[in-house]
Amino acid sequence: MKKKLTLLFCLLACVVSAQAQFEKGKWLLNPAVTGLGLSYDTGVDKASFGVDVSGGVFLVDNVALLVRGGIGVNENGGDTDVYSLGVGGRYYFDQVGIYLGANVNVDRYDWGTADDTKFSFGLEAGYAFFLSRTVALEPGVYWNVNSDRSKFGLKVGFGFYF
């Protein structure tokens, strides 16, 4: 019984601490590690690893407008690197930290001997688990698709709320 009460108290504390973080006018900075060796790119048949950074402001309660940038490299020094810039948004459900996001990106593919630029669309879902009043651990899943590639993977990041 003590364990159940302790777990309930911890969950309640997380919900209460998250309430003030998604208000209009707050700022968000979100560096994340993507891929973690679990993503799969249907265009090159290789696993990948990447780093994303996004930042933005809450326009209204629970809705953030974000600008993002990222770099993705293929496993074992593969032959394709991807550089991304984009804009997007997130919606946080009911002030508890669960979010859904969408973004539009310009991706630059560098194959070493040839380059290509494509527009892509991405979706993400995750949870902001607050470690303190302004810092959250944010695991999530993402899906990114353009005219000839689709990528699904996991990411882990930190959210800094100001």
Give pLDDT, residue 151. Answer: 80
pTM here is: 0.78
Domain at 2-161, CATH from 3.30.70.100, 1.10.10.10, 2.40.160.20, 3.40.50.1000: 2.40.160.20
The answer to whether 91 and 58 are in contact (CB under 8 A) is: no
Give pLDDT, residue 18. Answer: 47
Q: What is the mean pLDDT of residues 66-90?
A: 83
Q: How does DSSP classify residue 46?
A: B
Joined tokens for residue 57: 């402001």
Using DSSP, how many helices (H) and how many strands (E) does the chain show? 1, 9
Q: How confident is the model at residue 12 (pLDDT cuts 50, 70, 90)?
A: very low
Listed by start position, the domains of the chain span 2-161
